[in-house]
Amino acid sequence: MKKFTLGIEEEFQILDSDSLTLRSHMSKIYEGGKVLLKERIKEEMHQAVVEMGTNICENIQEARDEVSYLRQQVIELAGAEGLKVAAAGTHPFSHWSDQLITPDPRYDALIEEMKDVARSNLIFGLHVHVGIPSREEGLQIMNVARYFLPHLYALSTNSPFWEARETGFKSYRSKIFDKFPRTGIPPYFSSVAEYDKFVEILVKTNCIDNGKKIWWDIRLHPFYPTVEFRICDMVQTVDEVICIAAIMQCIIAKLHRLHQKNQSFRSYRRVLINENKWRAARWGMDAKLIDFGKEEEVPFEVLIQELLEFIDDVVDELGCRKEVNFVYQMLEQGSGADRQLKIFNETNDLKEVIKYVVDQTSKGL
């Protein structure tokens, strides 16, 4: 089977060891890690965020090794500075206005343009790149893969709190990000030429300086030969990261296979997919999502089972059955949001919640 390579980016929270609030100390970790990790460690706009990105991985096992290694490194680098690291889509009680912005002309320009919308965007995501044979095919695959975004999103929900409030959402992160332009489910594009023309108009009219300023939930990457999934909250454990990445890789491989046979999966309108995205954000794995083919509500577990059946014939060829099957454990234990809420309901203490997230971040390393 064609190599559907993987690249995984994780955005981590940097915390004060005692108060467990966000600390704008990323530069200390970045300076320490740059020599050893080179391109795999990146600064972000807020100094309380550090991004770790894997090398290009040939398969899911390689991806697990890389993700585990990078988590280990970032935890050690933070520990050396008296800091801790947490993996969740938002911090339960820190306030964005207390955090410093990284000095960089790029970020200065973004703040100048978007003001508090950019400053308040203190959120943490998981981004997964899957290699594609060509941009043309990548675009067709992206059009269809949009349907599965809410399924993946529900699995990853891990941001139920914002500024010391229980939001009522399993993922409040996307509600914060929605304030940005060019976010959410992308529209349907009939060809690469149409897509390129769209980007060209945005660049020409000074909306963006390049395609990276298009922050959709899934995108044809402007510089790499990949489809990039961007919808997920940052998840707590390595097992969850790898399970979600494996399912994404299988979706791309399966859609490629159908494409090769001149077959396809129905492409649904963005407005319909958005209904499922909303439900996934609000209820996570407890959501009833809409089966647009049957035109009825279906419990999330049923749709996930259908997704697993849909990708089943590529799982063994990609060598990721064990990783994909971890989804059953995720259904049983609940998403990161479910587990955060459980701790809060037991203790009524958000500090206990973030303490739990810190422990989960190093689980299995």
Structure tokens that stand for 261 in this block: 């046979």
All residues at 6 or more sequence positions from 269 whose CB lies less than 8 Å from its CB, including other chains: 188
**Sign of dihedral through CA atoms 348, 352, 53, 129?**
negative
Spatial CA neighbour of 143 closest among 308, 223, 259, 246: 259
| Residue 1, pLDDT score | 59
**How many residues are present in the chain?**
365
Does the residue 95 lie in any domain?
A: yes
> Residue with structure tokens 């059009």?
143
Strand partners, 215: 183
Does the residue 1 lie in any domain?
A: no
Give the number of domains in the chain. 1
CA distances from 165 to 90, 91, 293, 337, 357 (A): 11, 11, 37, 14, 17
Q: What is the dihedral of CA 308, 311, 315, 318, to 10 degrees?
A: -140
Listing DSSP states for 145-186 in one string gives HGGGHHHHHHHH--B-EETTEE-S-SB-HHHHHTTSSSEESP
**Can you give the CATH number for the domain in which 314 is found?**
3.30.590.20
As averages over each run of 10 residues, the pLDDT of the chain (365 residues) reads 89 97 87 88 91 97 98 96 97 94 87 90 96 94 97 98 98 95 95 94 93 94 93 98 98 96 86 97 98 93 97 98 98 98 98 98 96
What is the pairing mode between strands 6-16 and 83-86? Answer: antiparallel
CA distances from 337 to 288, 309, 357 (A): 17, 26, 10
Q: How far apart are CA 253 and CA 150, in angstroms?
A: 19
131-161 pLDDT per residue, tens: 999 999 999 999 999 999 999 999 999 999 9
295-317 pLDDT per residue, tens: 999 999 999 999 999 999 999 99
Task: State the pTM of this model.
Answer: 0.96
Does the residue 332 lie in any domain?
A: yes
Which domain covers residue 79, as residue numbers?
6-361
Q: How far apart are CA 281 and CA 23, in angstroms?
A: 27
**Sign of dihedral through CA atoms 269, 139, 110, 46?**
positive
Does the residue 143 lie in any domain?
A: yes
Q: How far apart are CA 104 and CA 112, in angstroms?
A: 12
Structure tokens that stand for 93 in this block: 């009680």
Amino acid at 135: R
Structure tokens that stand for 51 in this block: 């991004």
Does the residue 282 lie in any domain?
A: yes
| Residue 249, pLDDT score | 98
| Residue 36, pLDDT score | 85
Does the residue 355 lie in any domain?
A: yes
What is the pairing mode between strands 165-166 and 183-184? Answer: unpaired
